[in-house]
Amino acid sequence: MNKIAKRILIIVLLLVALVFAGFQVLKMYTKQFSPEREASYTLNEYNLSVSYSSPSKKNRVIFGGLVPYDQIWRTGANEATTLTTNKSLSLDGTEIPAGTYTLWTIPGKESWTVIINEGKYDWGVNFDGTPTYDPEQDVARISLPVETTLTPVEKFTIGFHAYPNKVVMYLEWDDTLITVPFE
């Protein structure tokens, strides 16, 4: 291999290393503003968990502003939000087998569509901001009414509440609350 080819190869490898390092720094930087969080629910043999990144309101208009109405949302920030269950669940009569899924939503003024999808997506959005979501991989969808919180919620939060024969996953941010009933 001649000297010019070796130098070009070294330059290309250095550029690849710089781009990779740059993406890692960018990932860490964005997670400062939307830290990773996990919510879990355990009862008897059932274990549910949700991993997501939690952005803050910061005096912004959230729904209908930062998060547009009637468009698919990765339901959080950074990587796509994941839901993991060790046993099958039922959502509005649709069985969701044990496994790990991504959670997507379509926020609306009066109702939201909550989507359980079996696709695995690294970041949740492409460089142009469009979701990496593939509707062909939907396992379940449900339309749920928008509820209003008593006080505004600064950080996007997902959690669980248990009731007899069902567990409710809730999503809350700003003055919006969505409750997702699993059986």
pLDDT, the chain, mean? 89
**The overall pTM is greater than 0.85:** no
Average pLDDT by stretches of 10, the chain with 183 residues: 77 75 57 82 90 95 96 92 95 96 97 96 78 94 97 97 89 97 91
What is the phi/psi pair of residue 128, to 5°?
-85, 0
Q: Distance of alpha carbon 113 from its chain centroid, rounded?
A: 14
Say what the pLDDT of residue 1 is.
65
| Phi and psi at residue 134, to the nearest 5° | -120, 110
Residue 146 confidence (pLDDT): 98
For strands 94-96 and 147-163, give the pairing.
unpaired
Report the candidate in 103, 181, 113, 169 with the shortest Cα–Cα distance to residue 137.
Answer: 103
The predicted structure's pLDDT at residue 54: 94
Residue of 89, 105, 107 lying closest to 97 (CA atoms): 89
Give SS3 for 23: helix
Q: What is the pLDDT of residue 101?
A: 97
